[in-house]
Structure 1
Amino acid sequence: MKTTIVSIGKQKYKTEIQAKNHIIVADEPVELGGQDLGFTPTELLESSLASCTAMTIRMYADRKGWELDGVEIKVGYKKNVNTNQITFIKEIQLFGKLSNEQLDKLMEIGAKCPIEKIITGNIVVQSNFI
C-alpha cells in the first residue's frame, strides 16, 4: 500500500501532507477559520484529477510522437442537491499541431487517467484506529 501521511496540530487548520520525499500544506480559507496557507481539500481533489488527466494526455501524445505543445485543464464540480450526485467538469485546452482525430483521441485517453477511474469507480473507504 502506498502511504501518504497527513498530520495536523493545534494550528487551525494547517495540515501537512507527506508523500515520499515531498511535503505540501493544506489549509482552509480565512473565512472558514484557517489561514489560507495552502490548497483546500477540495482544491487538492480537483488538482489531482486535472494533473492526472494532463499527464495521461502528455504521455500518450509523446508515445505517438504527436506535436502537443501543452495542455491546460480547469476542473470544478457541481452537486445536485436533489440526487446528491457530484459532477466534475473538466475544461481541456490542447495546444499544438493536432488533427481533429488526434484531439478526439487525446480527449478519450484523458478520461482514462487513474484518478478519473478511481473517482468514477465503486469506492469504499475503510478507516481503522492504529
Structure 2
Amino acid sequence: MEVTVEHLGSVQFEIRTRNHRIISDQPVDDGGFDEGMTPPELLLASLGSCAGFYAAQYLRKNKLATEGTRVRVTCEKVKDPVARMTNFVIEVDAPVELSAEQRKGVEEAVEHCLVHNTLLHPPKIELKVVGAIAAKK
C-alpha cells in the first residue's frame, strides 16, 4: 500500500492513492482554510470507515439492513509523554434492532478491521528524509 502526500501551500496537503485524492487542511484558527480534515481526523475517519466496512459486511452476510449504518469514532488528545491520540471509542449504530448475539457478531467483525488491528499492535515506523533537503545537510 502507498499514498503520496504533497504540500499545496499554507497548511494544505493533497493525499493521493490510485485514482483518488483527499485534501488535508487545518481549521481557520490554526492558520488553515478548513477545506479538509486534519491528519488526526483522517486517522479517525480511516478507523471508522474500516469498522463500518466490517460491520456492514457482517450485517449483509446475516441478511440484515446495512444502508444507514453509522460509525462514530472518538478519542482523546494527550500531551504526556508526547502529543498523541488515545482512548479511542468506536460506536457502531446499525439501522435495525440487533439481538445480543448479532451485536456480538458485529463487534467480532469490526475486530477484524486492518486499521483497528494496526492501532492495537503498533507497527514499526521508519522515517527517511531524502531529496534536495537531505542533500543540503
Into which bin does the TM-score normalised by the smaller protein fall? 0.7 to 0.9
Unaligned runs of 5+ in 2: 131-137
* Cα distance in 2, alignment partners of residues 35 and 69 from structure 1: 32
The residue that corresponds to 2:52 in the other structure is 54
Q: Closer, same or farther in 2 for the Cα pair 1:7/1:90, shift >3 Å?
A: same
Moved more, 54-63 or 92-101: 92-101
Q: Does 1:93 align with 2:93?
A: yes
Measured after TM superposition, the shift of residue 64 of structure 1 is 2.9
* Cα distance in 2, alignment partners of residues 74 and 55 from structure 1: 13
Query: 17, 41, 44: which is aligned to 1:43?
Result: 41
The residue that corresponds to 1:5 in the other structure is 4
Over the aligned positions, Cα root-mean-square deviation in angstroms equals 2.0
Identity score, percent? 27
Paired residues of 2:55 and 2:92 also in contact (CA < 8 A): no
More strand by share: 1
Counting matched residue pairs gives 128
Deviations 1:5-39 (A, max 9, x none): 10004x21110000100011000111111111101
1:1-130 matches, within 5 Å, as: 2-9=1-8, 11-79=9-77, 86-130=86-130
TM-score, normalised to structure 1, is 0.86
Deviations 1:78-111 (A, max 9, x none): 1456676811012221112532211221122212
Unaligned runs of 5+ in 1: none
TM-score, normalised to structure 2, is 0.82
Paired residues of 2:58 and 2:105 also in contact (CA < 8 A): no
* Runs of 4+ in structure 1 over 4 Å off: 79-85
